[in-house]
Amino acid sequence: MSRIRPFIILIGLLVVWQLIVTFSQVAPFILPSPLSVLVSAMDRIDELAKHALITTLEIIIGLFSGTVFGIISALSMVYFRPARSWLLPVLVVSQAIPVFALAPVLVLWFGYGLLPKIIMATLIIYFPVTAALYDGLRRTETGWLELAKTMGASRFSTLWKVRLPSAMPAFASGLRVATAVAPIGAVVGEWVGSSAGLGYYMLLMNGRVQTDAMFAALFILAIIAVSIYFLIDKVLRKCITWQTESNSSDQI
């Protein structure tokens, strides 16, 4: 039951949507019916796949580089005291300035290709990953650290073999949040300036009043975002088996 529940909800929403369209007689360019969206998606499957591939690529590369930068920053903030005072403002600024405001500048600097979108996705991902891992690294159980000290472990070895593994659950939460918001960076970048990607395609179809194609692109974007999230979630669960969940029955 719990497995098919999301699908029941989805089908229910689609039925409601179809009923609204049928009974309110709203113009198709305002709200196309789910059926016409499906037909439109089938017609343009090649085009949509091409754009979807590019957006997926931007999200995944952004996710990867944001995570790598986040891990490096968090580790250096814990290991080198001076790095903390230098990196913390950068961290806050990276989140305080809206990517929407940066997007035009990044497009101006890096052109219409993949790079500005990847940078935007990276910027969005960087903060949750760094903040979560940094927090996790600082909250290692003191007993473990003391034990490591009595065993003659170096600072680096303690960081690498005690602090880092113990911070993995916190890091996983950060990465989950990051995965959920990563598509925002890519799509905003595509809106501001690009020649490919689902965001670009949606704007294009919007301009041509082909609302059904726009909805089709939107759905594909949602499917991509949800799939990446569940994939990452699954990998994280596989890797961090030692974490005991206090209430294992309410897993997502």
Partner 1 sequence: MYTDEKHKNNNQSERNLNPAPVGLYLNNARLAFSNIPIFENLSAEISAGKWTCILGPSGVGKSALLRMIVGLGPKDPVTEISASDGSSLTEKISWMAQQDLLLPWLSVSKNVALGSHLRGIKPNKEKVSSLLNDVGMYKYCNDLPKILSGGQKQRVALARTLMEGRPIVLMDEPFSSVDAITRSRLQELAAKLLTNRTVLLVTHDPLEALRLGHNLFVMSGKPAKLGPVMQPADNIPRDPSNYSLQKIHSSILSQLETAVTESK
**Which residue number, 40 or 158, has a Cβ lying nearer to partner 1?**
158
> Does residue 57 interact with partner 1 by CB under 8 A?
no
Residue with structure tokens 């113990």? 166
Give residues 170-199 in contact with partner 1 (rule: CB under 8 A).
none
Burial (CB count within 10 angstroms: exposed 0-12, middle 13-18, buried 19+), residue 200: buried
Q: Which stretch binds partner 1 (CB under 8 A): 5-13, 44-52, 125-133, 242-250?
A: 242-250
Closest CA to 61 of 197, 160, 192, 193: 197
Cβ proximity to partner 1, 82 vs 143, nearer residue: 143
Q: How far is the CB of 148 from partner 1 (least distance, A)?
A: 6
User: Under the criterion CB under 8 A, does residue 244 sit at the interface with partner 1?
Assistant: yes
To the nearest whole angstrom, how small is the minimum distance from the Cβ of residue 239 to partner 1?
10
Q: How many CB atoms lie within 10 A of CB 134?
A: 25
Cα–Cα distance for residue pair 13/113, rounded to 1 Å? 36
CA distance 219 to 216: 5
Q: Is 83 in the site for partner 1 (CB under 8 A)?
A: no
Q: What is the rounded distance in angstroms from the CA atom of residue 32 to the CA atom of residue 176? A: 33
Smallest Cα–Cα separation from 54: which of 224, 230, 229?
224
Residue 251 binding partner 1, by CB under 8 A: no
Considering only 25, 241, 246, 251, the residue that binds partner 1 (CB under 8 A) is 241
Name which position in 168, 180, 181, 204 contacts partner 1 (CB under 8 A): 168
Name the residue among 116, 73, 115 with its Cα closest to residue 92. Answer: 73
Q: Using the rule CB under 8 A, is 54 a contact of partner 1?
A: no
Residues 123-162 binding partner 1 (CB under 8 A) are: 141, 143-144, 146-153, 157-158, 161-162
CA gap 128, 206 in Å, rounded:
32
Whichever of 85 and 150 has its CB closer to partner 1, that residue is 150
**Site of interaction with partner 1 (CB under 8 A):** 141, 143-144, 146-153, 157-158, 161-162, 165-166, 168, 240-244
